[in-house]
Amino acid sequence: MWFYEKKLQYPVRVSKCDVRMAKFLIEQYGGADGELAAALRYLNQRYTVPEKVIGVLNDIGTEELAHLEMIATMVYKLTKDATPEELEKAGLGAHYANHDKALFYHNAAGAPWTATYIQAKGDPIADLYEDIAAEEKARATYQWLINMTDDPDLMDSLNFLREREIVHSQRFREAVEILKEERDRKKVF
């Protein structure tokens, strides 16, 4: 089913401890438009789409798991040397009280991840439009995260993730066109 190579899809480096930035990055870990929601959305929707586009959902859903791993690595590296006082000052005091420095699926505001973040309508074209919107929202979030850091190493990884969201959106748009063409094809019985 999957082949797992024990390295990140793209190298993750950070120049310094930055708990404030880690708090914001958690949005892409457990937020509505984050990597977990995307992976689960696509890997679930693949069961009700025509065979012609299953591979797109499977491939992108799997890649989103790799992105989740990258975000987790970024958050870990940004917080590993932080003191409890620094975590509290950055707005992660409640997180520390509940989880220490362990990652937990919640958004930047601390709201836990919920299955209501993902959709599966059962109509392949509707689902793919949902997926395009999800990718565009993730792209926008990555841009805003890039705007909030001055760490060139972190920016590099975030730029990679932003660009992958653009590619995913394009692939979903292609899948929509394949399905529309199939739907509109004249049927002869």
By annotation, the residues acting in catalysis are 35, 64, 67, 135, 165, 168
3-state secondary structure the chain: CCCCCCCCCCCCCCCCCCHHHHHHHCHHHHCCCCHHHHHHHHHHHHHHCCHHHHHHHHHHHHHHHHHHHHHHHHHHHHHCCCCHHHHHHCCCHHHHHHHCCCCCCECCCCCECCHHHCCCCCCHHHHHHHHHHHHHHHHHHHHHHHHCCCCHHHHHHHHHHHHHHHHHHHHHHHHHHHHHHHHHCCCCC
